[in-house]
Homo-oligomer: A and B are copies of this chain.
Amino acid sequence: MGKCINHPDRETSYICMKHNIYLCEECLECRDPDIYCKFRSSCPIYFITKKGFDAPKKKTIEKEPVKEKCTVIFEPEEKKVAVTSGTNLLEASQKADIYINASCNGKGSCGKCKLIIKSGKVESENTSLLSDKEKKKGYVLACQSKILEDIIVKIPEETIEKKLKAAGMGEAATKKLSGLVEKIEPIVEKISFQLDSPTMEDTVSDLDRLKRQLRKRGYDTSKMSTNIRVMRQLTESVRNDHWKVVASILWKKCSSEIVDVSPANDHINSLGMAIDLGTTSIVVYIVDMEDGAILSAASGHNSQAACGDDVINRIVCSEKDGVKKLKKMALSTINNLTKRALNSINADHKQIENIVISGNTTMTHLLLGIEAKYIRREPYIPTVSEFPIIKAGEIGLKAAYYAGVFVMPGPASYVGGDIVSGILYTRFNQFEDLTLFIDIGTNGEIVLGNDEFLMTAACSAGPAFEGGGIRWGMRAEDGAIEKITLDPNTFEPDYSTVENKPARGICGSGMIDLLSEMLLKKVIGQDGKFQIDTDHPRFILFNEEPAFIIETADNIDSEEDIIFTQSDIKSLILSKAAIYAGFTILLEQVGMDFSAISQMIITGGFGQYLNIEKAITIGLLPDIEREKFKYMGNSSIAGAYMALLSNTYRQQAIAISNTMTYLDFSSNYTFMEEFTRAQFLPHTDANLFPSVQTD
C-alpha cells in the first residue's frame, strides 16, 4: 500500500512498477495520461500491477443527440467522407482510409496527429503541444478536435507518413537469405500427374482415381482429407486436360488435405509469401517456391499505427472498437503490400499458395481476429501460442483461398513469433557458447541461451527508441536525424539525416548519439540533468523545463526549433535502464554475468543504425569486447523466409518456442532494483562500464 501520487490523502495498492508510483482507482479509471502517468505514453499500462488487478472500467459518457451530417474533405488527396457532427477528426480520417500517425492512440499526449483546418469549424481541446504560431495557422490535433460543420482539412507535410527505412529490404538483405534452405518442403505441395482414363472396367470415382494415383506416387492417402470446394470442382478439373492434373496438398501437423485440383494446362508457378508483421512496419517477401528465390519485396507502415504506437494501445483500441477493426487495418496494409510486390513481377495473388507470418503475440492475435485483451492483464495470457495451419481465405489474406498459412509460434504474451524467427535465423540455440540476443524496438525482447536452454523476457523499454513520447522523436523516416556529434567547446551539433532530407525530428540512433555526446561533452551529468549555463544560446526553458536546441526553426523552414528536453532525456534513460536491467536479471537467473557471454546478437529495424560504442556509453549495451556484438538485420523476416521453404524449420520453430522459458519482470522485485540502479549514465555502478570515461 502507498499514497496516490495525484491524491496524497488516498491509500492504494496499485503501483506503477516502472516509476514506482502509486495510483488510486480514480486515477486508473480516468486514463488521462497527465494524471495516469507522469511520463505519459512512455509508461506501458501493463506495468501497473496489483493482485487481482483488472482493466480500468470505462467511463460512461452520456451520448449527445444525433446531429446533422458533415462532409470532411482531406487535402491534398481530396478524399471525402461524411460523418455526424461531433465526430472526432482522427476517427473521421480513419473512416476516410487515411491513416495518420497517432502514437498515443488519441490520448492527445504525443502531438503527432497535426492537421490544418482550411475551412469550416472544429471544436478543439486546448493543448500545449501546438505552438501559438501553429494555432494561428489553423493547426489542430486531430484526436482533440470535434467536427462541427462541413470542413476542408489539409494534411501537413510533417504528418504524412514517409517511407520507412525498413530492415530486411534491398538486394543485399535478400541475397544473404538465398541458399539458406537446401531442401524445399512447401506447406502446400503441388503434384502433377496423369490419371488413368476411366473405362467400363475401371469405374472408380474421380476422387478415388486421384487418390489411387497419389498412392502410386508414395503418398499416404489414408491420412488425406478433401474439402467440399475441391469435390465441387473435381468433375471438370480432371476432365479438362485429358486426365492430366495438378493436385495441391496442404500438409498439416499429422494429416493432409487435398485443397485444389486443377487441369494441368492451368498450371501456374507456385509462390510463397513471408511476412514480418511488425507493430510499426510490415515487410513482405514474394518467394518462388521452386528454387527459393526472393522475387520481390515491399514494406510499409502498419496502418494500425492510427491506434497508437505500442501493442498496449492497440489492445486498448481493440477492446474499445472491436478486434475486427484492428484486423482490418493490418490486413489492408498486408494486402496492399502484397499487391505492390506482385505487380512488380507481374504475378497474380492466386499463385501464392504458401504463407508464413512472423510477428509478436499481440500483432498475430489481432491479424487473425483473435481477442488479445488478456495479454495486457495479469497474469498476461495469450489465447493461442502455437497456431495450427490456417487457410489464407479463412483470415482474409490476398492469396489462393487454400494457401497454407504457418504462423510463427510465440512462447509468451510479450515474446512472440518474431523472436522465435530471430533464433531460428541466428541459430545460436545450436551452439554450446552462451549468446545474449536482443530485438530492440518498443518492447525490447531479450533471449539468453545456448543449445541447452533459452531464457527470455520483455523489457518494456517503451516506444522512446522509435520516437514515442519524445517531443521531436520520430522513426527512421526521411529527414530523421540519425547521427549527431557536438562540438566539445561550442556544443554546436553536426548531424546527418535519413536520405539527407531537411531535419524533421530525431530517431532512435540519433537520440543515443545525442545522449552519449551530451554526457561526454558534459552538457548533462550522469544523472541526466542539464548542467550547462542557462545563458548558452542552445539552452532554453520549454514549458518550464530545460531543453537543448538541436536545430533552429529558421534553418529548416519550420515553425518550431527541434529541441531535446529534460523529459525526453528521462524517457530515454528509463528505456535504456529497462533493457540493461533485463540483461542483468536474465544472467542472474542462471548465475552468470556479462563475462560469460560469447556473443551478443542485435536484431530489429532499429538495431541497424545503432552505434555500439555510444550505446555502451549511455549504458544501453553492456561494456564487453566490441567484437562480440553482431548485428543480424531483420531476423523476423529471415526466419519467416526459412520456415516458408522448409518443414524442418517450421518444426524447429515450434521446438524453439516450446523450449523457451519466459521470465516476467512485472512481478520481479529484483528487476525493479536493477532497473533503478541502471537509471544513471552509464550506470550507478561505474565498475560495470570500465571503458566509459565520464570524468
Contacts and interface: CB of A to CB of B under 8 A. Distances in A.
A383 B231 contact: yes
Given A235-B371, A379-B199, A379-B200, A385 B225 contact: no
Given A231-B370, A235-B373, A223 B383 contact: no
Nearest to A413: B203
A461 to B, nearest CB: 21
A374 interface: yes
A381 B206 contact: yes
Given A235-B371, A255-B255, A207 B379 contact: no
A208 B252 contact: no
A253 B222 CA distance: 8
A64 to B, nearest CB: 31
Contacts of A394: 227-228
Nearest to A373: B235
Given A228-B395, A390-B228, A383 B205 contact: yes
A179 interface: no
Contacts of A222: 253-254
Contacts of A228: 368-369, 390, 394-395
A373 to B, nearest CB: 7
A193 interface: no
Contacts of A207: 383-386
A382 interface: yes
Contacts of A378: 200
A370 B412 CA distance: 44
A32 to B, nearest CB: 28
A232 interface: yes
Contacts of A368: 228, 231-232
A291 interface: no
A432 interface: no
Nearest to A204: B385
A667 to B, nearest CB: 5
How many monomers of this chain does the complex have? 2
A602 to B, nearest CB: 27
A391 to B, nearest CB: 9
Which one of A208, A228, A255, A395 has the highest number of Cβ atoms from chain B below 10 Å of its Cβ? A228
Contacts of A227: 388, 394
Classify chain A: how many residues form its interface, as a range. 35 or more
Given A222-B253, A228-B395, A394-B228, A203 B384 contact: no
A226 interface: yes
B664 A203 contact: yes
Given A223-B254, A225-B252, A234 B203 contact: no
A206 B383 contact: yes
Contacts of A413: 203
B208 A371 contact: no
Contacts of A385: 204-205, 207-208
Given A206-B384, A371-B236, A386-B208, A379 B231 contact: no
A199 B222 CA distance: 42
Contacts of A384: 205-207, 226, 231, 234
A453 interface: no
A662 interface: yes
A120 interface: no
Contact of A203 (B231, B255, B380, B387): B380
Contacts of A383: 205-207, 231, 234-235
A199 B664 CA distance: 12
Given A226-B388, A253-B225, A203 B235 contact: no
Nearest to A228: B394
A8 interface: no
A596 B172 CA distance: 82
Nearest to A385: B205
A412 B235 contact: no
A198 interface: yes
A395 B236 CA distance: 20
A543 to B, nearest CB: 39
Interface in A637-695: 662, 664, 667
A407 to B, nearest CB: 10
Interface of A: 198-200, 202-208, 222-223, 225-228, 231-232, 234-236, 239, 252-255, 368-371, 373-374, 378-390, 394-395, 412-413, 662, 664, 667
Please list the 5 inter-chain residue pairs (A to B) with the smallest Cβ-Cβ separation, ordered nearest first.
Answer: A235-B371, A205-B385, A255-B255, A225-B388, A200-B379
22 contacts: A200-B667, A202-B379, A203-B379, A203-B412, A203-B413, A203-B664, A205-B385, A205-B386, A206-B381, A207-B386, A208-B386, A222-B253, A223-B254, A223-B255, A225-B253, A227-B388, A227-B394, A228-B390, A231-B368, A231-B383, A231-B384, A254-B254
